[in-house]
Structure 1
Amino acid sequence: MLNCLIVDDEPLVRKQIESYVEQIPFLHLVGTTRNPVVAQAILSTEVVDLIFLDIKMPQMSGIEFLQTQDIYQQVIFITAYPEYALQGYELDVTDYLMKPVTFERFLKACEKANAKITGVASVKMNREQPDSLFVRSNHRLEKILLADILFIEAMLNYVQIVTRNKKYIVYATLKSIEESLPAIDFLRIHKSFIVALNQITTLEPSQVRVAEYILPTSRRSQQLLKQRFNEIHQRNINK
């Protein structure tokens, strides 16, 4: 499910996009506004995956909106002005839709955003090289060895993959990353954390230690974590 935000100063366009969003099962509308300044406030308090953004607006243009802040979300421009297409792609937007937007074209753009966010494009690579995880970070496809991963943390609009030597900022959901990892070696121990079981050095009642990090554990995960932690160590002993 992608949380999305509509930013457009035309009421009829906002209503149309809202109706399109309601028809797409993997979209969930968390906000709609005519004002880019209000949109900035929404982004600071809500988890947003996808922004439908107009270009020409009174307070601030969509171009200025993207240029004045760090945007990790996927962005789909919806505009009546084709002359901004090149500039939009230079800003690495997901798609550029011309008004009036048909539902078919809108759906195609949303499916493209969904593929980028969930990592569908790299699923084949992950299956072919099960000892590695392929993710998109800083506009590049990165190969991360599973053996190097310490833990993965969910942030507001992205996840942070922490390895022995580096941290990767990945615009994806924790769930999509979890589905790409082997369940025998990784466990979700908290709503915001997945840990590499063989990297745990200390298991405590409400937390675990991994290298120099202390990670919280949920009450629900603690019994399973203890069981899996013991299985990993027993497996290592028997090697």
Structure 2
Amino acid sequence: MNKIKSIIIDDEPLAIEVIENLASQIPFLEVIGRFQNPVDAIFFLQNNNVDLVFCDIEMPEINGIEVMKNLEKPPLFIIITAFRDFAIDSFELGVFDYLVKPVRLDRFLKAVNRVNQFINLKNQSEVHKINDDRIFIKSEGKLVKILLNEIVYIEAQGDYLKLVLKDHSYTTQVTMKSLEEILISQSFYRVQRSFIINIESVRSLHGNIVELTTGVKITMAPNKREELLQLLGAK
């Protein structure tokens, strides 16, 4: 079993000891670092592979929210604090869970089990090509069949992709590159870093703006216009 590598950030030694004790009771969890100084933790995170961070919010030099903001690609964060007031700000930043001290073992276990499920799902293939007209994606814990001609566009949203269909949308955790490789022989074109469009869904072009049949307008990269015109048969 691959263990989840975690660190603890808290300016109080006793709080670190409590979380480490809870973590020691979880077979798939490994604590590889303990930090009272959040700045030291930031440097550690920038130079080591860490899956999960248990982090306090109120600390002298820099708070837990600022720790996340200082990381280009932050790992999963579980905030553990005596303060409830930061919950909304934390979730808006993508905090995985928010635990209020004193933390009970059952609540701690629930949080890390969710992390474990999330990481396992992330490590599995999220897209399965069936044939030239359909794929299966994992979305919200289930496999969903997607007919390719129903896709209007695909948008990158952080670690996720949003597949927008004619009458619905799905979110799945897969890289844009891997999905682009699956769709390479189909009528799809990557117009910029964050968007792949279905060429059949193009309604109009105006300069570098592509308008799709749903009314969505996407700004494409300047060097993509000529190739898109060729694919549309407009040149």
The TM-score range, normalised by the shorter chain, is 0.5 to 0.7
| Larger gyration radius, structure 1 or structure 2 | 2
Verify: 1:22 aligned to 2:47, yes or no.
yes
Q: 1:22-171, aligned counterparts within 5 Å?
A: 22-24=47-49, 34-35=56-57, 38-40=63-65, 50-53=75-78, 56-59=80-83, 69=91, 83-88=106-111, 93-95=114-116, 113=119, 116-117=121-122, 120-123=124-127, 125-126=128-129, 128-156=130-158, 158-171=160-173
**Gapped runs of 5+ residues in structure 2?**
1-5, 17-32
Tell me the secondary structure at the aligned position of residue 165 of structure 1.
coil
Q: Return the offset for 1:51.
A: 0.9
Q: Deviations over 1:157-200 (max 9, x none)?
A: 53321111112233444334323323442111012211011222
Root-mean-square deviation (CA), in Å? 4.6
**Sequence identity percentage:** 19
More helix by share: 1
Maintained 8 Å contact 1:7/1:51: no
The CA distance in 2 between the partners of 1:84 and 1:49, in whole Å, is 23
- The alignment's TM-score, normalised by the length of structure 1, stands at 0.59
Return closer, same or farther for 1:178/1:84 CA change in 2, 3 Å cut-off.
Answer: same
Unmatched 5+ stretches in structure 1: 97-111, 235-239
Secondary structure at the residue paired with 2:81? coil
Structure 1 residues 57 and 73: alpha-carbon distance in aligned structure 2, compared to 1, 3 A threshold: closer
Distance 1:21 1:176, change over 3 A: farther
Q: State how far apart, in whole Å, the 2-side matches of 1:84 and 1:206 are.
A: 50
How many aligned residue pairs are there?
A: 197
- TM-score when scaled to structure 2? 0.59
